[in-house]
Amino acid sequence: MQLKDGIRFGDHFSIDPTSKSDLAVVSHAHSDHLKAHVKIYATAPTLDLARLNYKRFEAAPLEYHQPLDIGPATVELAPAGHMLGSAQVIVDWHGERIVYTGDFKLENNLTCPRAEIHKCDILLIDTTYGRPRYKFPSMAECREMLLDFVDKHLKEGVTPIVMAYSFGKAQEAMKMLGDEGFEMDVHSKAFDAAQIYIAHGVEIKNINLLCEKPTPGRVVLMPPGVLKYQSTYGWGRFKVCFLSGWTLDRVYGANGVNGFGIPFSDHAGFDDIIRYVEEARPRRIFTLFGPPDIAEFLCRLGFKAEAANFNSGHHHMSRANTNFDLFS
């Protein structure tokens, strides 16, 4: 196994390869984990969401906990709690159990099962929020903040605009708002993804496709950044709310003019990253997508950990020099 342009298992397959691959196991449908591969093994929802961006690939659906032999490896997907269809990848390879969490979340969600913790020999873990300051409010608290924001501004005759990533976060917000009876005008990409959620059994109510301008009395949902390029002539008064764990950092809090943030994350916060490691008890850890100092923190807890770069395999380890050829 090598960390280079994804997680490579010889010439057999790669997990979340960062460039086009003949055979890829894909953890979820976000663009930083999904490319235009020739053949993709993933959950059925991930494959359906992938088709919104890529049309020509061979789809090979896998259920959670359905073992698959690929060459000398046995591969299994398990819930990751990040978005609909998101999966951890468990690989039994030459007598070792390797777990790649992908983007994961241990807390309950409204639209997908939460992540399970799996004991393993090698753990490759998402540490996007791998600093102690990233301690997020509960889902229930975020829901109340969102409902209060929407209800307050609708009562004032102001259009609430909720900014959330098109796949995953937006559908969680739609579920929260729709279940409370709010009507929504939704940007096309998030609307198309919501139809896939609905097709896979997630009940999302009261959504309408956003046209040139919002319908009075409705909430608007759109991806972050879109508003900069959107003509808001005739929209009347509006207020913006950004749903993201990054809103704990002041620089992200406003997301532009007349807005504020709710620290609603679809990743594990710092405490849950540590909890995963302590329960999984791996003999070796590679931290991915986050700050390198999380690996040093894990070393101080007694684990053998190093920070890895998913694209190049470059790494940082304070206690020993190692390479990324884990098995010769």
How far are the Cα atoms of 8, 43, 128, 241 from residue 312, in angstroms, in the given order? 12, 27, 18, 36
- Does position 104 have pLDDT exceeding 80, yes or no? yes
The pLDDT score that the predictor gives to residue 252 is 54
Confidence of residue 255 (pLDDT cuts 50, 70, 90): very low
How far are the Cα atoms of 131, 147, 289 from residue 16, in angstroms, in the given order? 24, 35, 13
Q: Compute the residue count for the chain.
A: 328
- Does position 287 have pLDDT exceeding 70, yes or no? yes
Tell me what the mean pLDDT of segment 301-310 comes to.
89
Confidence of residue 37 (pLDDT cuts 50, 70, 90): confident
- Does position 34 have pLDDT exceeding 80, yes or no? no
- Are residues 38 and 26 in contact, defined by beta-carbon separation less than 8 angstroms? no
- Does position 43 have pLDDT exceeding 60, yes or no? yes
Q: For every residue of 292-313, which 3-state class applies, written as one string?
A: CHHHHHHHHCCCCEEEECCCCC
Amino acid found at 33: H
Determine the Cα angle at 6 with ends 170 and 23, to 5°.
Answer: 90
Fold of 2-133+267-316: Metallo-beta-lactamase; Chain A (3.60.15)
Residue 199 or 5, more confident: 199
Lookup: tokens for 198: 């609905």
Could you tell me whether strands 219-222 and 23-25 are parallel, antiparallel, or unpaired per DSSP bridges?
A: unpaired
Question: 12: how many CB neighbours lie within 10 A of its CB?
Answer: 14
The pLDDT score that the predictor gives to residue 321 is 35
- CA dist 265 and 3 (Å) reads 27
Q: Tell me if residue 93 falls in helix, strand or coil.
A: strand
Confidence of residue 64 (pLDDT cuts 50, 70, 90): very high
Residue-wise DSSP of 4-52: SSSEEETTTEEES-SS--SEEE-S-SSTTT----SEEEE-HHHHHHHTT
Query: Within the chain, which residue ranges are assigned CATH 3.60.15.10?
Result: 2-133+267-316
> Lowest-pLDDT range, 2-6, 103-107, 285-289?
2-6
Confidence of residue 259 (pLDDT cuts 50, 70, 90): low
Fold of 139-262: Rossmann fold (3.40.50)
- Does position 245 have pLDDT exceeding 50, yes or no? yes
- CA dist 282 and 303 (Å) reads 8
> Lowest-pLDDT range, 158-167, 295-304, 313-322?
313-322
Tell me what the mean pLDDT of segment 267-291 comes to.
95
CA dihedral 70, 123, 246, 251 (to 10 degrees): -110
Query: Within the chain, which residue ranges are assigned CATH 3.40.50.12650?
Result: 139-262
> Lowest-pLDDT range, 1-10, 89-98, 239-248?
1-10
The pLDDT score that the predictor gives to residue 319 is 36
The pLDDT score that the predictor gives to residue 316 is 41
Query: What percentage of the chain exceeds 90 in pLDDT?
Result: 66
- CA dist 323 and 313 (Å) reads 8
| CA-based torsion, 265, 266, 270, 272: positive or negative | positive
Residue 295 or 233, more confident: 295
Q: Largest Cα–Cα distance of the chain, in whole Å?
A: 65
Q: What are phi and psi of 175, to 5 degrees?
A: -60, -45
Q: Which of 80, 95, 10 is CA-nearest to residue 46?
A: 80
Tell me what the mean pLDDT of segment 148-173 comes to.
94
Q: What is the average pLDDT score of the chain?
A: 88
The pLDDT score that the predictor gives to residue 313 is 52
Residue 17 or 225, more confident: 17
The pLDDT score that the predictor gives to residue 290 is 87
